[in-house]
Amino acid sequence: MKPEVGRHPTSLDAPGSWRRRRWLVTAPLVLVLSLVTWVLAFGLTKNPDRVRSVMVGRRAPHFALPSIDGREVVRLGSLRGQVVVVNFWASWCTDCLTEHPALAAAWRRFRDQGVTMLGVVYQDTASDAARFMRTLGGTWPQVTDPGDRVAIAYGVRGVPETFFIGPDGRIAAQHSGAVTYQILSGEISRLLGRKR
């Protein structure tokens, strides 16, 4: 008679092994969930407005956009040799209302110094944008962006977002959120100094 071979106490089909099987399944799941939680917690502590745009240093994407009154087309290529400030904004945007006085002040200061400011209306109607400009004042050119194609080309993540284009046609700086007069005058002065 052959002796009966017993099961090893650590085998998965031994009595009480259901606990080991449960941990073999749940331990990797707990590890994955912990890792995902850590990545999300770390990512949520970062301010996306502080992330440098990949467009900085690259040639500004060309555009030809209609003015909000529909009377002309503004072409970026025709502004080559100037400092161009492109501000993506919308009439429904609270931060756009906040930054408007800074844009108006910068326009008054720099418009006769080889600087063009250009407002690009983002996900808004031309009539609402025109009403906003009439109410708050401001004479710098405003254009619409049908289908948001230019906003996509510039990598706009939301409004307001401002791009500073040097006389060489390259994007020298970008700012997400409401731009201040200090930021505007600093970037414009730096680019004008580069021009001379």
Q: Do 31 and 68 reside in the same domain of the chain?
A: no
Beta strands in 19-153, from DSSP E residues, in sequence order: 64-66, 73-75, 83-89, 115-121, 142-144
Average pLDDT over residues 89-101: 97
Cβ-based neighbour number of residue 36 at 10 Å? 10
Q: Residue 174: give its domain's CATH number.
A: 3.40.30.10
Q: Do 26 and 92 reside in the same domain of the chain?
A: no
Q: Do 57 and 152 reside in the same domain of the chain?
A: yes
Q: Do 132 and 159 reside in the same domain of the chain?
A: yes
Q: Do 137 and 169 reside in the same domain of the chain?
A: yes
Can you tell me whether residue 189 is helix, strand or coil?
helix
Can you tell me the distance from the alpha carbon of 152 to that of 154, in angstroms, rounded to the nearest whole number?
5
Higher pLDDT, 9 or 65: 65
Quote the tokens at residue 58. Answer: 């690259």
Q: Do 33 and 77 reside in the same domain of the chain?
A: no
Q: Do 31 and 94 reside in the same domain of the chain?
A: no
For residue 132, being part of any structural domain is answered with yes
For residue 4, being part of any structural domain is answered with no
Q: Do 15 and 67 reside in the same domain of the chain?
A: no
Least-confidence region, from 6-15, 68-77, 185-194: 6-15
Contact predicate 138/107, CB 8 Å: yes
Query: Which band of pLDDT confidence, cut at 50, 70 and 90, is reported for residue 26?
Result: confident
For residue 1, being part of any structural domain is answered with no
Q: What is the pLDDT of residues 37-56, one digit of tens each?
A: 766 666 555 555 556 688 99
Cβ-based neighbour number of residue 187 at 10 Å? 22
Residue 195 has pLDDT above 90, yes or no: no
Q: Do 17 and 113 reside in the same domain of the chain?
A: no
Say how many domains are in the chain: 2
Residue 122 has pLDDT above 70, yes or no: yes
Q: Which domain holds residue 162?
A: 52-195
Q: What is the pLDDT of residues 156-180, one digit of tens each?
A: 999 999 999 999 999 999 999 999 9
Q: Do 148 and 75 reside in the same domain of the chain?
A: yes
Q: Do 42 and 94 reside in the same domain of the chain?
A: no
Q: Do 81 and 114 reside in the same domain of the chain?
A: yes
Count of CA atoms in the C-beta half-sphere (13 A) of 148: 14
Cβ-based neighbour number of residue 65 at 10 Å? 21
For residue 162, being part of any structural domain is answered with yes
Residue 72 has pLDDT above 70, yes or no: yes
Average pLDDT over all residues of the chain: 87
Query: Which band of pLDDT confidence, cut at 50, 70 and 90, is reported for residue 196?
Result: very low
